[in-house]
């Protein structure tokens, strides 16, 4: 599998804020938890080091939680433990306007970070309060000014649709304000609805107007494309040449290693996840381990490939998986094409705008 691109994802579970919509593992950074985290991360590093001795690493991504709640010194330690010296193409770090400082950004720049992703979510303070976000508009603008002044020229801004798709005008204002900053990349997300806590539950989601949701998606796609951003995946937009390489490698079903609690890996035809609980992870427990056949990987490459605007090059996919009969999918492609959901020409299959809106349903059909 050495010919595949390899990415490393590092989960930093610490965060100073518990947002109502976030389902990722997060906790307050106490001294004991930080000690446990770095000790276990050092163990993981030592386990992976011999396996990566002859392997190049294309991308590195620090996510959370909020990596920016670490101190500058802790960031330096983390960099040593995640093979950052081997990264060849892209190194992304997620930051929060609440916990990032100019000093931390200067350290990240010196370490070799090439890309910053900032969680803005909204420029509307009422929406921020609904989401449980603590930052002010002044903090967002100050953080962005620091990011640029330190010298980062590849910046993503994360935005979230208003709860229940309540106001297209508020959403348009959020997009317009984001673009006044001229980021290289914009990611736009729906809320993740939870079963057990907060105002954004699965029950609440059942009352969302799906037609309104589709209107928000289509408005966003047209708006950002008209402003010069290439819509390259359902939720992601980039100026030419600034697509997120780490995510592209994942959507193309390459290989990745997850370090930290709850982080997932896909490596050598296996997929597994580190234990979600910090203490269980410290005991080196894994969950959801499974072996992957070429058929499994091919299906996933089709599912995630159809979330990308360019779709899937079937010729290249067949070359990668010669033992998979892609002709078996032709009846499905023909049905999708008749329904106006994809374009299909024997060489490439890609979603139309209508198909992108139904990408999850198409995935179920492929499975």
Helices and strands counted in the chain (H then E): 15, 15
Residues 209-260: tens digit of each pLDDT? 678 889 999 999 999 999 999 999 999 999 999 999 999 999 999 999 999 9
Give, in order, the Cα–Cα distances in Å from 277 to each of 9, 36, 38, 71.
Answer: 17, 12, 15, 23
Please list the residue range(s) of the chain that carry CATH number 3.20.20.70: 6-250
pLDDT in the model for residue 204? 44
Confidence of residue 207 (pLDDT cuts 50, 70, 90): very low
Mean pLDDT for 36-63 is 97
pLDDT in the model for residue 201? 44
Give the chain's largest Cα–Cα span. Answer: 59
The CATH number of the structural domain formed by 6-250 is: 3.20.20.70
Cβ(254)–Cβ(4) below 8 Å: yes
pLDDT over 90, % of the chain? 83
Q: At what angle do helices 137-150 and 102-111 cross, to 10 degrees?
A: 30
Which residue carries 């999708």 as its tokens? 336
The pTM assigned to this predicted structure is 0.92
pLDDT over 70, % of the chain? 92
Confidence of residue 53 (pLDDT cuts 50, 70, 90): very high
Residues 108-153: tens digit of each pLDDT? 999 999 999 999 999 998 888 888 777 889 999 999 999 999 999 9
Please list the residue range(s) of the chain that carry CATH number 1.10.10.920: 294-367
Mean pLDDT for 259-273 is 97
DSSP 96: -
Confidence of residue 57 (pLDDT cuts 50, 70, 90): very high
Pairing verdict, β 255-259 and 230-233: unpaired
Can you tell me the distance from the alpha carbon of 180 to that of 176, in angstroms, rounded to the nearest whole number?
6
Give, in order, the Cα–Cα distances in Å from 126 to each of 17, 120, 131, 239, 265.
Answer: 17, 13, 9, 30, 38
Mean pLDDT for 193-221 is 65
pLDDT in the model for residue 15? 83
pLDDT in the model for residue 134? 78
Mean pLDDT for 28-34 is 90
Which residue carries 């996510």 as its tokens? 63
DSSP 86: G
Q: What's the sign of the alpha-carbon dihedral 243, 244, 245, 248?
A: negative
Rg of the Cα atoms in the chain? 21
Can you tell me the distance from the alpha carbon of 152 to that of 81, in angstroms, rounded to the nearest whole number?
23
Q: Which of 23-27, 250-254, 347-351 has the lowest mean pLDDT?
A: 23-27
Q: Given a cut of 70, is residue 33 above it in pLDDT?
A: yes
pLDDT in the model for residue 198? 46
pLDDT in the model for residue 346? 83
> What 3-state class would DSSP assign to 158?
strand
Can you tell me the distance from the alpha carbon of 149 to that of 13, in angstroms, rounded to the nearest whole number?
28
Can you tell me the distance from the alpha carbon of 197 to that of 191, in angstroms, rounded to the nearest whole number?
14
pLDDT in the model for residue 333? 97
Q: Which CATH architecture has domain 294-367?
A: Orthogonal Bundle (1.10)
Enumerate residues 6+ apart whose C-beta is below 8 A from 99: 16, 66, 68, 69
pLDDT in the model for residue 244? 98
Residues 277-299: tens digit of each pLDDT? 999 999 999 999 999 999 999 99
pLDDT in the model for residue 16? 72
Confidence of residue 156 (pLDDT cuts 50, 70, 90): very high
Q: Which of 26-30, 158-162, 222-226 has the lowest mean pLDDT?
A: 26-30
């Amino acid at each position: 599998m050495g010919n595949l691109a390899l990415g490393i994802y590092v989960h930093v579970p610490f965060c100073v804020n518990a947002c109502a919509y976030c389902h990722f593992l997060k906790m307050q950074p106490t001294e004991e938890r930080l000690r446990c985290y770095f000790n276990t991360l050092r163990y993981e590093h030592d386990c992976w080091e011999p396996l990566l001795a002859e392997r190049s690493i294309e991308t590195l991504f620090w996510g959370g939680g909020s990596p920016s709640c670490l101190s500058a010194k802790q960031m330096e330690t983390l960099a040593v433990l995640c093979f950052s010296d081997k990264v060849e193409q892209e190194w992304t770090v997620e930051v929060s306007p609440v916990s990032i400082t100019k000093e931390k950004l200067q350290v990240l720049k010196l370490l070799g970070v090439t890309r910053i992703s900032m969680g803005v979510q909204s420029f509307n303070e009422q929406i921020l309060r609904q989401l449980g976000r603590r930052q002010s508009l002044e903090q967002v603008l100050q953080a962005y000014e620091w990011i640029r002044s330190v010298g980062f020229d590849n910046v993503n801004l994360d935005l979230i649709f208003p709860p229940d798709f309540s106001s297209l005008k508020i959403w348009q204002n959020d997009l317009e304000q984001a673009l006044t900053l001229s980021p290289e990349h914009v990611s736009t997300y729906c809320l993740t609805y939870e079963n057990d806590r907060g105002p954004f539950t699965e029950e609440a989601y059942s009352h969302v107007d799906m037609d309104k949701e589709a209107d928000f998606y289509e408005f966003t796609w047209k708006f950002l494309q008209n402003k010069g951003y290439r819509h390259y995946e359902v939720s992601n937009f980039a100026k030419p040449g600034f697509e997120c390489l780490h995510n592209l490698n994942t959507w193309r079903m390459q290989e990745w290693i997850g370090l930290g609690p709850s982080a997932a890996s896909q490596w050598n035809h296996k997929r597994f996840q580190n234990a979600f609980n910090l203490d269980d992870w410290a005991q080196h427990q894994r969950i959801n381990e499974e072996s992957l056949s070429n058929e499994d990987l091919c299906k996933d490459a089709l599912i995630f490939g159809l979330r990308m605007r360019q779709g899937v090059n079937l010729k290249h996919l067949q070359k990668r998986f010669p033992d998979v009969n892609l002709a078996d999918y032709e009846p499905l492609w023909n049905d999708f094409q008749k329904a106006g959901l994809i374009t299909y020409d024997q060489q490439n299959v890609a979603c139309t705008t209508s198909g992108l809106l139904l990408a999850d349903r198409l995935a179920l059909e492929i499975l």
